[in-house]
Amino acid sequence: MAAISELRPEETSPAAPEHISGAIERVTFHNSENGFCVLRIKARGQYDLITVIGQAASVTAGEYIEASGHWVTDRTHGLQFKASLLQVIPPSTLDGIERYLGSGMVKGIGPHFARTLVKAFGERVFAVIEDNPEQLLELPGIGRKRQQRVTVAWAEQKVIRAIMVFLQSHGVGTARAVRIYKTYGEEAVERVRENPYRLALDIHGIGFKTADALAQRLGIPPDSLIRAQAGVRHVLQEIAGNGHCAAWHDELAEQATALLAIPPTVIEQAIASELEAEHLIAEQIDERPALLLTPLQRAEQGIALGVQRLLSGTPPWGQIDPERALPWVERQIELQLAASQRAGIAQVINAKLSVVTGGPGVGKTTVVDAILRILQAKAVRVLLCAPTGRAAKRLTETTGREAKTIHRLLDFDPQAMAFKRDQYSPLDTDLIICDEVSMVDTVLMNQLLRAVPTGAAVILVGDVDQLPSVGPGSVLADLINSERVPTVRLTEVFRQAAASRIVVNAHRINAGRIPEAPRDDQPKNDQPNSDFYLIRCDSPEQIHERLLKVITERIPQRFGLDPVRDIQVLTPMNRGSLGARALNSDLQRELNPSTQPRLERFGWTYAPGDKVIQLVNDYDKEVFNGDIGRILSIDTAEGLVTIGVDGRQIIYETGELDQVALAYATSVHKAQGSEYPAVVIPLATQHYNLLQRNLLYTAVTRGKRLVVLIAQPKALAIAVRQLGSQRLTRLRQRLLELNPVTAQSTPGAFALTQPFLDP
């Protein structure tokens, strides 16, 4: 191999690959997502360190590499060795072994313990850990627990590396190897070879395109039926990911044909095979052929049957006379109810299943409180729930009674991935009140209704004008629009709420009108503090500049709010200069700039003090999509990150950090069911596809004390004017197809414990 000093740019691309080997002195950069790395290595026969760029599943200082590739000259970074094949092997020198073990790659071994191990066992240390782990107990300060943690972590690393080598050899980024190992165990390679498309179904973070690329490298033909079936399922799952429970048959076939570039006849054959295997269900929606994923079709059917079952009969507390109950409850709450509230309460207390909906300031909380007081007077057993932890906590605060997440109420078992409460083991209650129902998707609503005993009653509370659930379906809207479920729609904004510009402007937006707010340039001494501000900007760049200033200076100084704890940026999109990802990087730099230690994983850099959001439901940890917390500590030696969420300390392994992301800014969808002291909303024309009325309305109603809208006037006008697209479901049609329910007269089950009479 020629010395570096002898190479000239025109000689940097020989036909035959060259080979170099050496010890990694420093990992300059490593992207866990795709394996790309920049390494500084000490190569044999070279005085200076060599820069090597390539792909490796994991790399650690002290390891030894063997690489094949070519020398290239980079305009910025100079001469580099570009490796087309890069193999990482454990080090052989004592210094390399110590650095390798002390890097934190093996949980339980930090720099100090690595030094102890090398001093005790020398070059035999790897063999000791793998073959004679009992010898570790001879070292001072090493107990059985730590010894077991080290040996288990070492064995896991060995298997993971084999999986990584396999995946990398087939051109796949291997950051997901840990998840593949945890899902399939030691059979991972065999399972992937058998059907690589299973990765897209079983492994979080691996999509169809990744699985498809692997399949083709493994020799599966592009026009094979197995590929067509996986592609059809993928397209339908993508459609479900956008909130739809169904897809039109012809549109699904057309999209799958375009995605896979295979003949339509093969796609139709794949659809037929999926129907035969009952992975898909074919139905008519408005007399047009449609296809549904089987779990969603079953869930819609379950909801319809649950509604029919619960509408039968009278409530377990019997009939209540509103003429006696309403004056009594007004004395209890020391408040004169409005006519609309009285009518709503009268309807709900004599219904088995009912919906209460309305926007901010219309008295939903008062109505629910009054209903609870009336039913408590009849010793009714009540359970309260909401779809998220934050929503459940808010329900607890407003009612004074314990509320749980739906998952906790139904006793979800993360090991079995199933609910313990169902039709065979129903909830022991007379009434269930579920809040924030607009967030509840089709599958979860089916699970909830299944667990409600037939004799019990259900009250569903939510704002139907907010964004629909993140998951598939528009359950609350379908229930209301079917007109099969008794519904109370509150619309009157009460005087106290009308003093809030947040409430007033939320209703203006919902009515298709531009919000009114103090201009940002009005004299502050002459204007009392409002709770809603509109800052008009000419460009996205100006929005970005004003947003950073508002968060770091204006709001903290004027309102005394903490920029990390109290202020939440809600943006329509994740991408773009005003998307959640870019804003998080900018806000992290401004609000948490120099905290150590810092940890880079899955494209994010984390540090103690960072605000983070949970991206997926983790039932083992009992944290759910949308939960927000703060990083409390990072232990690089143990590979652990501790995050505080709602007063609980939750420990993540570093390989699990793709479950979270920075949360200084987040999407409006992720904020559903949450409230924040202050909300800052950037709106630009670059958000065009998501500029919709219900999205802006949802964002504004997340703010409790302050909302600052920083917008291009054109973008604001589009958002207020543009209605969101309707989701394709069959639930409303199923409800309309139900046989009409005739209420049965049954005697009241309870006597009054607090009679609706004057003392």
Question: What residue numbers does the annotated binding site for ATP cover?
Answer: 361-365
532-536, strands of its sheet edge to edge: 532-536, 703-711, 676-683, 567-571, 665-667
Distance separating alpha carbons of residues 318 and 325, to the nearest angstrom: 13
Please, are residues 444 and 406 in contact by the beta-carbon 8 Å criterion? yes
Tell me if residue 174 falls in helix, strand or coil.
coil
743 residue type, one letter: A
Instruction: Classify burial at 376, counting beta carbons within 10 Å of its beta carbon; exposed 0-12, middle 13-18, buried 19 or more.
Output: middle
Distance separating alpha carbons of residues 419 and 422, to the nearest angstrom: 7
What ranges make up the beta strands (E) of 31-98?
36-43, 50-55, 64-74, 78-89
Distances (CA, A) of 368 to 149, 490, 500, 543, 601: 51, 12, 22, 40, 45
Return the bridge partners of 178, or none.
none
- Nearest-10 Cα torsion for 67, 71, 75, 76: 30
Percentages of the chain per state (helix, strand, coil), in multiples of 5:
40, 20, 35
- Mark 678-699 as b/e (b = at least 16 C-beta within 10 Å): bbbbbbbebbeebbbbbbbbbb
Please, are residues 33 and 55 in contact by the beta-carbon 8 Å criterion? no
Distance separating alpha carbons of residues 446 and 438, to the nearest angstrom: 14
In the block, tokens 């309460």 appear at 345
**What is the DSSP code string of 473-515?**
--HHHHHHHHT-S-EEEE-PPPHHHHT-HHHHHHHHHHTT---
Instruction: Classify burial at 350, counting beta carbons within 10 Å of its beta carbon; exposed 0-12, middle 13-18, buried 19 or more.
Output: buried
| Number of CB atoms found within 10 A of residue 647's CB | 7
Peptide bond into 597 cis (omega under 30): yes
| Number of CB atoms found within 10 A of residue 545's CB | 13
Contacts of 269 (CB under 8 A, 6+ apart): 225, 228
Please, are residues 435 and 386 in contact by the beta-carbon 8 Å criterion? yes
Contacts of 5 (CB under 8 A, 6+ apart): none
Distances (CA, A) of 535 to 550, 577, 578, 590: 10, 18, 15, 21
Please, are residues 300 and 261 in contact by the beta-carbon 8 Å criterion? no
- Least Cα distance to 58 among 35, 42, 82, 81 occurs for 35
**What is the DSSP code string of 538-581?**
SSHHHHHHHHHHIIIIIHHHHH---TTTTEEEEES-SSSTTSHH
E strand or H helix at 648 = strand 648-653
Please, are residues 597 and 607 in contact by the beta-carbon 8 Å criterion? yes
Which residues are documented as binding site? Answer: 361-365
Please, are residues 73 and 9 in contact by the beta-carbon 8 Å criterion? yes
Q: Residue 545 region, left (φ>0) first, then alpha (ψ -120 to 50), else beta?
A: alpha
Distances (CA, A) of 373 to 78, 326, 398: 76, 11, 13
